[in-house]
Amino acid sequence: MLSDVEICRNTTLTSISAIAKQAGLLEAEFETQGSHKAKVSLNCLKRLAPNQTGKLVVVTAITPTPLGEGKTVTTIGLAQGLAKLNQSVTACIRQPSMGSVFGVKGGAAGGGYSQVAPMEELNLHLTGDIHAVTAAHNLAAAAIDARIYHEQRLGYDDFEARSGLKALNIDPNRVVWKRVMDHNDRALRMVTVGKNEPGKTINGYEREGGFDISAASELMAILALASDLRDLRQRIGRIVLAYSHAGEPITTEDLQVAGAMAVSMKAAIEPTLMQTLEGVPTLIHAGPFANIAHGNSSIIADNIALKLGDYTVTEGGFGSDMGFEKACNIKAQASGKAPDCAVIVATLRGLKANSTHYNFLPGQPLPESLFVDDHEALVAEFENLKWHINNVNQYGVPAVVAINRFPQDSDAELATLKAMIEALPNQVQVAVSEGFAHGGEGTRELAKKVMAQCAAPSTFRPLYSADQCLEEKLMAVAEVGYGAGSVTLSDVAKQQLQQFKQQGLDDLAVCLAKTPLSISTDGTIKGAPQGFDVPIRELKLCAGAGFVYALCGNVMTMPGLPEKPAFMKLDLDDEGNIVGLS
Amino acid sequence: MLSDVEICRNTTLTSISAIAKQAGLLEAEFETQGSHKAKVSLNCLKRLAPNQTGKLVVVTAITPTPLGEGKTVTTIGLAQGLAKLNQSVTACIRQPSMGSVFGVKGGAAGGGYSQVAPMEELNLHLTGDIHAVTAAHNLAAAAIDARIYHEQRLGYDDFEARSGLKALNIDPNRVVWKRVMDHNDRALRMVTVGKNEPGKTINGYEREGGFDISAASELMAILALASDLRDLRQRIGRIVLAYSHAGEPITTEDLQVAGAMAVSMKAAIEPTLMQTLEGVPTLIHAGPFANIAHGNSSIIADNIALKLGDYTVTEGGFGSDMGFEKACNIKAQASGKAPDCAVIVATLRGLKANSTHYNFLPGQPLPESLFVDDHEALVAEFENLKWHINNVNQYGVPAVVAINRFPQDSDAELATLKAMIEALPNQVQVAVSEGFAHGGEGTRELAKKVMAQCAAPSTFRPLYSADQCLEEKLMAVAEVGYGAGSVTLSDVAKQQLQQFKQQGLDDLAVCLAKTPLSISTDGTIKGAPQGFDVPIRELKLCAGAGFVYALCGNVMTMPGLPEKPAFMKLDLDDEGNIVGLS
């Protein structure tokens, strides 16, 4: 079989104008960016408002291996399969992080015959939305340190007299806004900023800081959750950056930087329209990392797609404990639109690899033994798949398991897995998905089962309601969502919870960051663990995004590069084409 | 008079496709990015090669005040003036830095009726070239720290066995590649990276690092100096990032990151086509900051423009000691095309403000007294203008002084200044330029004088030739270029010079970074100082760009935000339009 990039280059793509018009957009409602990308204006939402709202399908997965189980392949494949069945359909996915593209995972455009094209444009820069988030985020960070510096340098009275601004008296030890970068750069997790040559102060006030990956920026969550540009601007204005020496929160409005941040993100609020290899319109918006971030495609992109056609296929990152949980408890609550069906992606190699019968390392070739029939390994990890089916069902969302077929998969094992799923008591459906090898033709069965499940009446129920207190919400996600036996808050987290309660913030949602490699907070525990503890070490207020962010276990919000990073394969050939991207 | 952004919004722009075709590009040679921007493919250069090469006009200035003297206004105004005289003309300018847009200076699109439009797109993100430079630069930085971490963590032997890569044995104290960010963020000038919680090492190896502004990245200079994508890729591969414990240089090829860096910059190598308010095609390429960087528009953009029409108008940042010096000694040497004429922008307020008769602070309103006739102040600083005229002439480039008129300027003072210039013994020409108030109509006289000067035969002579040693080149720029009496190398700089000589790098050019606010390295010394010392504190090897970079005096390569930054004025109005940008 050809490589992803070869398949992509061998496909004749439709002009993006034609794709936009086929999707139902008017000429004035999009602006092309080259031949294959277009920014979609939010003006279309007003015109489309009277249209019926389509069905929302969320693609999720079993607990994944570090290489991923092909969720994007399945999302794109399913959208193409629905199109083969003459349904009007739009896919909505997140913009890949260059951190991942250059790091471990490589590109995130799907693969084989189920790709968003051109994959090199999707995977690199795209239309600059992540860069805009990064720029806006770091502007606020520069503004904080500059303000601390000038107020300290001049003294509060002189500062006020000279600048005509009110001194904010920011406590340098209580700056809660880090900087961000869209790279996997572990050396930036903890940094000392504002250092000076001995005896000098021109570089500002020395303090401890750090960088997160850009996808973990509160601004990325705001982009994903905002309903329009005005809402974006208002949410940005609610961001708390630091606290004063008197303990008062310092917002972006206090620093007069909220407007400029919104200006930097003005173009980013428009989703980017692309197409799949079979010409299905695909909206790209907001950022990845459903482990350490909100990690779902945007409400704005969904809202456009839901009005353009019968089906909107989107994905929530990682397993159903991660992106799907956030899709239900944060996104659906904000948008008012619940998922009509969940597709749970499972793979033979993922189940077997997670069974602990194999040694499976990212960046290394898969062990050959993984492709030999191994009923025992499959059964060992089947509990994990069952857990995800039950998890989806507890939200009242009907499920279809998509077994994402890899070329080396054996028919016998596929049949075994299918039979095991069909024997379950749930109303779960199952289909082998061959989107990778055959595109939409390979997902017809999956598409039919998704359509059938979407026809069922919705009984959606999130895990918590806004009027519960923050502690109850954290417990709900950990104990009901993950199946934990207990939640242990660190002393710091307890204090923060108390503080947020006093600030009257109990109506916010909660966004938990944890490893995606286990349902628990310990990445080495596979299967369907029960009764484990969820240690919450720290909370962060994201008042603009509308949630309190909880760091669980030893999760880190800035990944690192592995020993042999994906970037080593990348280069330009003699014709200037990109090689080594997958 | 209307504000810049109002003038821009009130102007009906031509579609960028029409501009591109008028300029002489074929449909296949550009890709539109929305209605008003297009990326120009380098393929056009081959087709256009047989065309005659046009005249290259470089706009420079007197020693500027921190607000700038209107060099971009004059560049755009002059291009429009040449078009009024039915000349085929393209302007080539640099992409503005968001650091400046949000910091002190504001936008860099020109102003009044001589602007590149839409100014908000030019000033914010544009087509993402600076972001691509930033991303490529920081990828290499992440790669260095990751490699140090993994080699230290595993030990060299285990590292080699596990990864199949050769251990590089990088000396953490000799990493010469900093990180970059396109913000004015002084707190990042000196940072400690790789910090860990006590007893842990998961964030890597602690070492001292720092950030420059993105425009100062060697990659930006490479973008400006490369002849094509292949040259870009090769130059990137020559970058020295660090030295090993054995003292061997570690390049991007050693880290296998050069290919990925070029991939990240693949789109950035194409200049962005925009238009002036009067529809003159304008190519935007590479980055600003001619004080701390190479700071000229790219050779690629110039090469396209020179083949498209009779006149190419471009600018070199700051005074003629800064961008123009680099245009002659670095850029023209690399491109083989010398400037045919230099335009020296002077303003009454700039000359008077620099005379030290006034107290002039960036971010503060201009003192009223500046607009009262003050012959004495004008005469006091006239020496500075004379210096720049002589400086341009010593390169064998004919000059035209453009007195950039501001609304408050008095006719009497303008006449005085003009007469003083006309009385000079040089072959200098002078014209009052009213591009700001009247667009191309206001620069007809200037355009005519530029055309006349361009007709003179070229006697171009740079200050040094490649075969001189690095020390002689530094002396040439300092003593002949600036008129210094001496050059003092720090001990560090002396060692570095010795080292570069041993490495066989004497054939490189030199790029001096110093304050733009004085011809000397002390920003408080105005006029035309003589006999001063140029202290060089540090040298940096930019083997990919092809020069050794010298830090003079106390110049800093990361600016800081002022007490009341420009971003405070920026916001979105109720219709979502950007307000406060100028």
Q: Does A45 touch chain B (CB under 8 A)?
A: no
Ramachandran class of B169: left when φ > 0, alpha when ψ lies in -120 to 50, beta otherwise: left
Cβ–Cβ gap B125/A132 under 8 Å: yes
Look at residue B106 and tell me whether its pLDDT is greater than 80. Answer: no
Specify the pLDDT at position A169.
97
Cβ–Cβ gap A195/B194 under 8 Å: no
Measured between beta carbons, the chain B residues lying within 8 angstroms of A567 are 139, 143, 256-257, 259-260
Contacts of A220 (CB under 8 A, 6+ apart): A130, A133, A214, A286, A287, A293, A294
Contacts of B214 (CB under 8 A, 6+ apart): B97, B99, B130, B133, B134, B137, B180, B181, B182, B220, B287
Cβ–Cβ gap A263/B196 under 8 Å: no
Cβ–Cβ gap A570/B263 under 8 Å: yes
Look at residue A370 and tell me whether its pLDDT is greater than 90. Answer: no
Cβ–Cβ gap B257/A568 under 8 Å: yes
Q: Among A102, A146, A258, select the one facing B560 at the smallest CB separation.
A: A146
Look at residue A84 and tell me whether its pLDDT is greater than 90. Answer: yes
Whether residue B284 contacts residue B274, with contact meaning beta carbons closer than 8 Å, is answered with yes
Q: E strands of A109-204, at which residues?
A: 110-111, 114-117, 170-175, 179-181, 191-193
Mean pLDDT on B512-539: 95
Cβ–Cβ gap B183/A138 under 8 Å: yes
Measured between beta carbons, the chain B residues lying within 8 angstroms of A578 are 263, 266
B160 is in an annotated binding site: no
Beta bridge partners of B208: B192
Contacts of B465 (CB under 8 A, 6+ apart): none
Q: What is the CA radius of gyration of chain B?
A: 24
Q: Among A138, A195, A204, select the one facing B192 at the smallest CB separation.
A: A195
Q: Does B124 touch chain A (CB under 8 A)?
A: yes
Q: Does A173 touch chain B (CB under 8 A)?
A: no
What are A382-420's pLDDT values in tens digits? 999 999 999 999 999 999 999 999 988 999 999 999 999
Mean pLDDT on B233-242: 98
The amino acid at A352:
K
Most A-contacting residue of B200, B235, B263, B578 (CB-CB within 10 A), to test interface: B263
- Mean pLDDT (chain A) is 95
User: pLDDT > 70: what percent of chain B?
Assistant: 99
B72 is in an annotated binding site: yes
Look at residue B408 and tell me whether its pLDDT is greater than 90. Answer: no
Mean pLDDT on B40-50: 97
Specify the pLDDT at position B363.
60
- The candidate with the shortest Cα–Cα distance to B61, out of B300, B327, B280, B294, is B327
**DSSP-derived 3-state class of residue A108:** coil
Q: Among B142, B196, B209, select the one facing A190 at the smallest CB separation.
A: B196
**Of chain A residues 530-569, which have a CB less than 8 A from chain B?**
556, 560-565, 567-568
A79-93, B130-144, B200-214, B347-361, range with the lowest pLDDT: B347-361
Whether residue B205 contacts residue B195, with contact meaning beta carbons closer than 8 Å, is answered with no
Give phi and psi for B369, each to the nearest 5: -60, -20
Cβ–Cβ gap A572/B262 under 8 Å: yes
Look at residue A197 and tell me whether its pLDDT is greater than 90. Answer: yes
User: What are the CA-CA distances from residue B195 to residues A188, A209, B96, B419 (Å)?
Assistant: 8, 10, 34, 63
**DSSP-derived 3-state class of residue B214:** helix
What are B177-200's pLDDT values in tens digits? 999 999 999 999 999 999 999 999
Residue A420 has a CB neighbour count (10 Å cut-off) of 15
Q: How confident is the model at residue B66 (pLDDT cuts 50, 70, 90)?
A: confident
Q: Does B523 touch chain A (CB under 8 A)?
A: no
Taking the C-alpha atoms of residue B344 and residue A468, their distance in angstroms, rounded to an integer, is: 68
Q: How confident is the model at residue A362 (pLDDT cuts 50, 70, 90)?
A: low
Query: Does the predicted TM-score (pTM) go above 0.95?
Result: yes
Mean pLDDT on B468-488: 96
Specify the pLDDT at position B362.
62
Run of H or E including B276: strand B272-276
Q: How confident is the model at residue B574 (pLDDT cuts 50, 70, 90)?
A: very high
**Of chain A residues 231-250, which have a CB less than 8 A from chain B?**
233
Look at residue B208 and tell me whether its pLDDT is greater than 90. Answer: yes
What are B145-168's pLDDT values in tens digits? 999 999 999 999 999 999 999 999
Q: Does A167 touch chain B (CB under 8 A)?
A: no
Give phi and psi for A534, each to the nearest 5: -110, 105
Specify the pLDDT at position B529.
95
ipTM of this complex prediction, to 2 decimal places: 0.96
User: What are the CA-CA distances from residue A29 to residues A90, A116, A305, A389 (Å)?
Assistant: 16, 21, 14, 39
**Cα–chain center distance at B304:** 19
Q: How confident is the model at residue B374 (pLDDT cuts 50, 70, 90)?
A: confident
User: pLDDT > 70: what percent of chain A?
Assistant: 99
Look at residue B6 and tell me whether its pLDDT is greater than 70. Answer: yes
B68 is in an annotated binding site: yes
Look at residue B169 and tell me whether its pLDDT is greater than 80. Answer: yes
Measured between beta carbons, the chain A residues lying within 8 angstroms of B570 are 259-260, 263
A70 is in an annotated binding site: yes
Whether residue B537 contacts residue B551, with contact meaning beta carbons closer than 8 Å, is answered with yes
Specify the pLDDT at position B477.
97
Q: Does A181 touch chain B (CB under 8 A)?
A: yes
Specify the pLDDT at position B131.
98
Contacts of A399 (CB under 8 A, 6+ apart): A341, A342, A343, A344, A389, A392, A393, A426, A427, A428, A429, A453
Q: Among A128, A146, A185, select the one facing B145 at the smallest CB separation.
A: A185
Specify the pLDDT at position A419.
95
To which residue do tokens 């990137």 refer? Answer: B236
- Mean pLDDT (chain B) is 95
Look at residue A167 and tell me whether its pLDDT is greater than 70. Answer: yes
What are A521-539's pLDDT values in tens digits? 999 999 999 999 999 999 9
Specify the pLDDT at position A363.
60
Q: How confident is the model at residue A76 (pLDDT cuts 50, 70, 90)?
A: very high
User: pLDDT > 90: what percent of chain B?
Assistant: 87
Q: Give the gap in angstroms from C-alpha A143 to the nearest C-alpha of chain B.
A: 7
Specify the pLDDT at position A408.
87
Q: Does B184 touch chain A (CB under 8 A)?
A: yes
